[in-house]
DNA sequence: CTGAAAGCGCTAACAC
DNA sequence: GTGTTAGCGCTTTCAG
């Protein structure tokens, strides 16, 4: 920066100012600086900037895993929006472990990020304590309806479950089941299950929960549906913890020669890339992963611009039930 | 850090040393420092550390998109391995755009990262120039066989295409087609296609390329196969740019009542979560996304430990053809 | 094994 | 609109 300043015949602080607010510098100084930067191939050091400003242009995002298409979508949308403001994404994976999360939050804080984004509302006490003490804005995503640290953006997973149940009942189904994968770790899948069961019971319809500890996959879906049909032969409508599981159900039904939706109606969750194309096309619930990321980015950018973030705000990004031929 | 030093009755530099190499500090000083850290709830400031050390504990990873399961896997594996060494992942998405990549590399450099990881071997001239000038180690992943900036880790995509073609020919197929999605942007899909065509021609077998500009999806797969069968009715074996496309082919064949593999053999790429579970289970090629991430992390960690990275090293992580019932 | 000293490259008051 | 000044919180020689 000193070299640039010298070449442009201004002081370093003018260069600094130009870099952060070009409009605050006179046109002549500005263009001289621009030329010098170009000539010297100058790349500002953001680490030094972050230290001096006591806040880096980094946003820490902590998700269970980007292998999960839902979080990949949110991370991707957020990254795209933050990039325009020259904010960097620092990524961490909890692998659904609160201890890992705690550790990630700790190191995240040592980067003095512009904001910390984490997934869900359930965290260890230590995590909660660390975060409520800092001045760094905290955003929790992908879950609503619990105690939140500060801002939360997402939707109510119980409502998703309830919507699935009501849809199946509307289609004339009276013997429901929820097929859940990895529900001991995936709190949000569990909430959807709870909402499903509650809505079914309220409607006076029979409901079972069949689950498997492995992560959601088509294999697990196939196993779960065959188990379900063995134990509860009259089952005529199922909701699945996500579309991978639902796809496995469709595959298994095809192998068993079981007609979908005539004999069994299937509802998924996620609207993944194959969901509209399979046989039959899958009725599913599309969450708002993209919107969650965009809204989070918007809040962070506004906060950085000086608008202080509304305290304890809640943004409900909703979800959509897509009625296709599997139900 | 000064507070910790005071409480532990040592100097700040001893605390600093303890933090980086605990074994270099006496046991008594060490435990006093540990107690002070705990008592004060001290979290080191990595930004300041990065500035002083002229290299931050951050690794910049630039991929086309984490929405793509392949890159999500690599990013995830890398993150997990780097975390153990307290290295942070800074993530950027190019969306298959070399201009974007150039920009991302520029900002990546301004973080003085411990290493920069980017996808593929094809970059803009400016990107190449920036990277060859820095002292930051550069690793290119997911592609082998072109001019590399420094280290490359991945496999040869032409070999993947060739392996698919040879497999189909071995299964007695003589009228091949390659179904490609977004090949104008996805260089690696194009390379696989090239390898496929070359191997087929070499074997004296007929081969067609049918493509669609949209990103790979089951919908695109369905469209591509019906187009193929219309234009080249004798086609009896297809390879697809990835398993999403292949899945769409299976769906469409089912709708058309076309027997797989009797009438048409199908080979995918990716071994995605549904590939073993669908009807029939999909023959596919499993790339080494996980291994790529692990190897990249290993190299970076070794470099940080002082072992200098072998210049212009190439690590071939290979791939595996999984012969299942679709062929 | 420990401590003193000298920055790392930038930002942010503040004065001009 | 521009420059001066005083750090930001750490790391890293180098002595002792």
pLDDT tens, A23-44? 999 999 999 999 999 999 899 9
Give the model confidence (pLDDT) of A190-243 as tens digits: 999 999 999 999 999 999 999 999 999 999 999 999 999 999 999 999 999 999
Tokens coding A139: 């955003």
What percent of chain B is predicted at pLDDT more than 70?
99
**Yes or no, beta carbons of B92 and A83 under 8 Å apart:** yes
What average pLDDT does the segment B294-317 reach? 87
Give the model confidence (pLDDT) of B86-103 as tens digits: 899 999 999 999 999 999
Tokens coding A188: 């949000």
End residue of a domain, out of A11, A28, A44: A44
Residue A308 confidence (pLDDT) above 80: no
Residue A323 confidence (pLDDT) above 70: yes
Domain co-membership, A149 together with A297: yes
Span CA (A77) to C1' (D14), Å = 50
Q: Specify the nucleotide whose C1' lies closest to residue B11 (CA).
A: C3
What average pLDDT does the segment B283-291 reach? 97
Span CA (B51) to C1' (C8), Å = 5
Write the residue in B51, B76, B93 that is nearest to A67 by C-beta.
B76
Span CA (B104) to C1' (C12), Å = 28
What average pLDDT does the segment A39-55 reach? 91
The answer to the question of residue B324 being in a domain is: no
On chain B, the residues whose CB falls within 8 A of the CB of A273 are 217-218, 244
What does the pLDDT read at residue B309? Answer: 66
The count of domains in chain B is 3
The answer to the question of residue A327 being in a domain is: no
Range of the structural domain that residue B28 is part of: 2-44
Nearest CA in chain B to A70: B67
Q: What strands lie across the sheet with A237-240, from one edge to the other?
A: A206-212, A175-181, A237-240, A265-267
What average pLDDT does the segment B210-223 reach? 96
Q: How confident is the model at residue B54 (pLDDT cuts 50, 70, 90)?
A: confident
What is the CATH number for A210?
3.40.50.2300
**Yes or no, beta carbons of B217 and A45 under 8 Å apart:** no
Domain co-membership, B130 together with B241: no
The answer to the question of residue A322 being in a domain is: no
- Mutation target vs A (from B104, B268, B277; most A CBs, 10 A cutoff): B277
Domain co-membership, B184 together with B279: yes
The answer to the question of residue B274 being in a domain is: yes
* 62-101 in chain B: CB under 8 A from chain A: 65-67, 69, 72-73, 75-76, 79-80, 83, 86, 88-93, 95
Domain co-membership, B40 together with B151: no
What does the pLDDT read at residue A54? Answer: 85
Domain co-membership, B40 together with B55: no
Q: Rounded to 5 degrees, what angle do the CA atoms A243, A248, A251 make? A: 125
Domain co-membership, B175 together with B116: no
Q: What strands lie across the sheet with B314-316, from one edge to the other?
A: A314-316, A151-154, A138-141, A115-119, A58-63, A88-93, B88-93, B58-63, B115-119, B138-141, B151-154, B314-316
Report how far Cα B57 is from the mean position of its chain's Cα atoms.
Answer: 21
Write the residue in B51, B69, B277 that is nearest to A51 by C-beta.
B51
pTM: 0.93
What does the pLDDT read at residue A309? Answer: 67
A281 touches chain B (CB under 8 A): no
The answer to the question of residue B325 being in a domain is: no
Q: What are phi and psi of A111, to 5 degrees?
A: -95, 0
* 228-267 in chain B: CB under 8 A from chain A: 244, 247-248, 251, 254-255
What average pLDDT does the segment B37-42 reach? 92
What does the pLDDT read at residue B147? Answer: 95
The answer to the question of residue A233 being in a domain is: yes
Domain co-membership, B133 together with B172: no
Give the model confidence (pLDDT) of A92-104 as tens digits: 999 999 999 999 9
Kindly report the average pLDDT of chain B as a whole number: 95
Domain co-membership, A38 together with A187: no
The answer to the question of residue A323 being in a domain is: no
Q: How confident is the model at residue A134 (pLDDT cuts 50, 70, 90)?
A: confident
Give the model confidence (pLDDT) of A236-291 as tens digits: 999 999 999 999 999 999 999 999 999 999 999 999 999 999 999 999 999 999 99
Cβ density class B1-13: b for 16+ within 10 Å, e for less: beebbebbebeee
> H-type helices in A10-111, by residue range?
12-20, 27-40, 46-53, 69-83, 98-109
> What nucleotides of chain C have any atom within 7 angstroms of a protein Cβ?
1-5, 7-13
Q: What are phi and psi of B95, to 5 degrees?
A: 55, 40
On chain B, the residues whose CB falls within 8 A of the CB of A58 are 90
> How many CB contacts within 8 angstroms connect chain A with chain B?
145
Residue B171 confidence (pLDDT) above 90: yes
Residue A292 confidence (pLDDT) above 80: yes
Q: How confident is the model at residue A133 (pLDDT cuts 50, 70, 90)?
A: confident
B126 touches chain A (CB under 8 A): no
The answer to the question of residue B207 being in a domain is: yes
Compute the nearest-CA separation of A82 from chain B (Å).
Answer: 10
Distances (CA, A) of B26 to A295, B4, B32, B33, B310: 50, 16, 10, 11, 35
CB atoms within 10 A of CB B139: 28
What does the pLDDT read at residue B209? Answer: 98
Dist CA B327 CA B321 (whole Å): 12
C-alpha closest to that of A122 among A168, A41, A64, A181: A64
Domain co-membership, B282 together with B304: no
What average pLDDT does the segment B172-193 reach? 97
**Yes or no, beta carbons of A92 and B110 under 8 Å apart:** no
Domain co-membership, A162 together with A282: yes
Domain co-membership, B56 together with B126: yes
Domain co-membership, A109 together with A188: no
What average pLDDT does the segment A49-76 reach? 94
What does the pLDDT read at residue B206? Answer: 97
CB-based burial label for B16 (10 Å; 0-12, 13-18, 19+): middle
């Amino acid at each position: 920066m000193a070299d640039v300043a010298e070449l442009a015949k201004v002081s370093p602080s003018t260069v600094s100012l130009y870099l952060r607010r070009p409009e605050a510098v006179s046109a002549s100084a500005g263009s001289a600086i621009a030329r010098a930067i170009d000539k010297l191939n100058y790349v500002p050091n953001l680490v030094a900037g972050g230290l001096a400003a006591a806040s880096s242009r980094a946003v820490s995002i902590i998700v269970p895993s980007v292998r999960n298409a839902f979080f990949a979508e949110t991370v991707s949308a957020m990254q795209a929006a933050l990039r325009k403001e020259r904010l960097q994404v620092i990524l961490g994976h909890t692998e659904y472990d609160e201890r890992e999360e705690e550790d990630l939050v700790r190191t995240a804080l040592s980067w003095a990020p512009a904001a910390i984004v984490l997934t869900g509302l359930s965290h260890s006490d230590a995590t909660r304590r660390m975060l409520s003490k800092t001045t760094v804005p905290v955003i929790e995503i992908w879950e609503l309806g619990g105690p939140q640290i500060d801002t939360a953006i997402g939707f109510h997973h119980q409502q998703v479950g309830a919507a699935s149940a009501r849809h199946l009942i509307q289609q004339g189904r009276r013997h429901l089941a929820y097929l859940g994968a990895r529900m001991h770790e995936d709190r949000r899948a569990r909430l959807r299950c709870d909402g499903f069961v509650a809505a079914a019971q309220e409607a006076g319809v029979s409901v079972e929960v069949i689950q498997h500890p492995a992560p959601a996959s088509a294999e697990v879906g196939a196993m779960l549906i065959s188990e379900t049909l063995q134990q509860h032969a009259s089952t005529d409508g199922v909701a699945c913890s996500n579309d991978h599981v639902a796809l496995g159900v469709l595959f298994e039904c095809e192998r068993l020669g079981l007609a979908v939706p005539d004999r069994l109606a299937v509802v998924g969750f996620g609207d993944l890339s194959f969901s509209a194309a399979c046989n039959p096309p899958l009725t599913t619930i599309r969450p708002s992963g993209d919107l969650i990321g965009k809204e989070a980015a918007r809040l962070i950018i506004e906060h950085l611009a000086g608008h202080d973030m509304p305290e304890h705000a809640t943004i409900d990004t909703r979800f959509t039930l897509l009625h296709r031929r599997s139900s």
